[in-house]
Structure 1
Amino acid sequence: MRAWPPATGAKATAVRERAEAAALRQGVRYRTIFRALLAGIIALSAVIVLTGTVGLFSETRARPLTVAEQNRYKQEEIARRWQAWPATGVFPEEVKYLGLEKATQYARRVGIAPQAGCDKAVDQAVAGVLAEFGCVAVLRATYVDQTASFVITVGVAVLKDEEARASVTEQLTLDDRVGVLPVAFPGTVSERFGVEQRQRNAWVGAGPYVVFSTAGYVDGRTRAAVPTEEILHSELWPAAKSIGNQIAYFLADPPAVPPCTQGNVC
């Protein structure tokens, strides 16, 4: 079979130039596609970074607090007071109350008891309700009135939130014979104050707290020894309730809320 002679001279040069031109055009196309893809990736990345930066700036820049944020700030501040405040902040040295004829008087703190478990600081009928809704702890302190005639123990039951506290107060018994267990301090006017000496018990809700109060006589007389008509003492019980209410007010008093997310300047 006859073989074709190899291309030489001008013909070979033309073939090589066409091949080189085709390869060059293909390279240009690939490079153009690559540049377009790279530009698209860079543009997309820039958009993502810019969007994230704008979002971050929007989230972190100072702005006025919404009503919901203001309420949450208040709730969180009140809820942490039992731990954030010193014991003397929860139970001030002196507590104002109204005596006979609405005269302003001051009860003096006798002592502050160690923090107790919710089942150790109240009667069992109350402990069951507190446990059901997640009671955290009970703080207690004992006061003596200005005339040194009455002794009052105030107990603060700490619940996990205000909703739990509301559930507790809906189910607490109205029996005034049960409530917080009294705390006596030996060598003080409160040393005779025990369970049998409690004349009455009460409670009031405040934020995530239930503030209990119980009162008796300094001389140690028991409830059983007091005639029924004298249990509603015109001085003893109003003073005890007033002191408990004052402690509750201190704990749940709404704090000042900063107007902006980063302080006072938006």
Structure 2
Amino acid sequence: MPSWPGANSRGRTAAKERAEQVALQQGVRYRRMFVALLGVIVAVSAVVVLFGTVGLFTETRSRPLTPAEQNRYKDEEIARRWQAWPVTGVFPDEVKYLGLDRAQQYARRVGIAPETDCGKGVDASVAGVLDSHGCVTMLRATYVDQTAAFVITVGVAVLKDEESRVSAGEELTQDDRVGVLPVAFPGTVSERFGPDQRQRTGWVGAGPYLVFSTAGYADGRTRAAVPPEEILHSELWPAAKSVGNQIAYFLADPPKVPPCTQGNVC
């Protein structure tokens, strides 16, 4: 017998409602799963951000410098002085030295030479050593002693670092006839000071610097014209050596190191 249309319609409606109810329940489950997964992602992200923030704060906050950091600060500060300081900071107007009977006297700066290549500011045998160890540049200035009887040229050879300076120093000759080339300034007491007038030369190491000194008489006497015993007992070389040592001291004097990474407060 054919079914009644009303009964079939009610069955289809009930089936449709059941299907919609199942779909709704399934959607609710999916939504709950999505919300839970999203919550986990947000929580993990928050933890990562928290740890990152803590790590960044720990890394950037002020703290005491370690001994290694203190030494690195000193080395870097000393190594940049030849550029960071004004030229009058490297070569002061006056430099103290000890004269006869250890009396304190002052050498006066006559002039400062233009910066030059290392090989052009020293004798050839010295130039080879400096070049082989990566000499960066040569700075020179000329002084006269307090009596204006002696002329002294000081040369600062800038090496890459202190290790290079030490290596270069180990290879330098002990011949006191070679070293830095004199710089004469016309119209001053130094105008007659040339390579032949050098009586003695020497050098001292300080940080990444080799500080050379050479001295002669302002009257233009050559080395050959001065008896060796006069040089040995003259005030000339002690004065020149003292001036060079003073400039080396200025350049390598240890700086004051801040106690913390961000100044004086940790």
What TM-score does the superposition give when structure 2 sets the normalisation length?
0.94
| Pairwise CA distance, 1:11 | 3.1
- Are residues 1:23 and 2:20 paired? no
Q: Is the 8 A contact 1:223 1:231 kept in 2?
A: no
Q: Show the counterpart of 1:155.
A: 155
Deviations 1:201-237 (A, max 9, x none): 1011101111000000111111111223333243111
Deviation of the 1:58 alpha carbon: 1.4
Q: 1:74 and 1:5, CA in 2 relative to 1: closer, same or farther beyond 3 A?
A: farther
Structure 1: distance between partners of 2:162 and 2:133: 11
Amino acid at match of 1:211: V
Distance 1:5 1:166, change over 3 A: farther
Residue 75 (structure 1) aligns with: 75
Identity of aligned residues (%): 78
Cα displacement (A) at 1:249: 0.1
Cα deviation per residue 1:44-82 (whole Å; 9 max; x = unaligned)?
221222222112211221211111111111111111110
Distance 1:64 1:26 in 2: 60
Cα distance, 1:160 vs structure 2: 1.4
3-state SS of paired residue (1:181):
coil
**Amino acid of the structure 2 residue aligned with 1:202:** G
The CA deviation at 1:196 is 0.5
2:93 corresponding residue in structure 1: 93
- 1:129-148 superposed matches below 5 A: 129-148=129-148
* Alpha-carbon distance change, 197 to 5 in structure 1, aligned in 2, over 3 angstroms: farther
Instruction: Tell me how far 1:87 sits from its aligned partner.
Output: 0.8
**CA displacement 1:111-170 (0-9 Å, x = unmatched):** 111111111111111111111111111110001111211110000011111111111111
Which residue in 1 is equivalent to 2:216? Answer: 216
Following superposition of structure 1 onto structure 2, how do residues 98-247 of structure 1 map, counting pairs within 5 Å?
A: 98-247=98-247
SS in 2 for 1:107: strand
> Per the alignment, in what secondary structure is the counterpart of residue 143 of structure 2?
strand
Q: CA deviation at 1:9?
A: 4.2
Q: Is the 8 A contact 1:145 1:151 kept in 2?
A: yes
- TM-score normalised by L of structure 1: 0.94
> Could you say if the C-alpha distance between residues 16 and 122 of structure 1 is closer, same or farther in structure 2, counting changes exceeding 3 Å?
same
Alignment partner of 1:27: what SS?
Answer: helix
Amino acid at match of 2:117: G
SS at match of 1:250: helix
Mapped to 1, the partners of 2:44 and 2:135 lie a distance apart of: 53
CA RMSD for the aligned pairs? 1.8
Alpha-carbon shift at residue 10 of structure 1 (Å): 4.2
- Offset, 1:21: 2.2
Find out whether 1:42 has 2:42 as its counterpart. yes
Structure 1: runs of 5+ lacking an equivalent: none
The answer (yes or no) to whether the contact 1:63–1:262 under 8 Å persists in 2 is: yes
Question: What residue ranges of structure 2 are gaps of 5+ in the alignment?
Answer: none
Mapped to 2, the partners of 1:226 and 1:72 lie a distance apart of 47
- SS of 1:157's partner is strand
Aligned partner of 1:72: which letter? R
SS at match of 1:221: coil
Aligned equivalents of 2:44, 2:225: Cα separation in 1: 86
Q: Distance between the aligned counterparts of 2:38 and 2:165, measured in 1?
A: 61
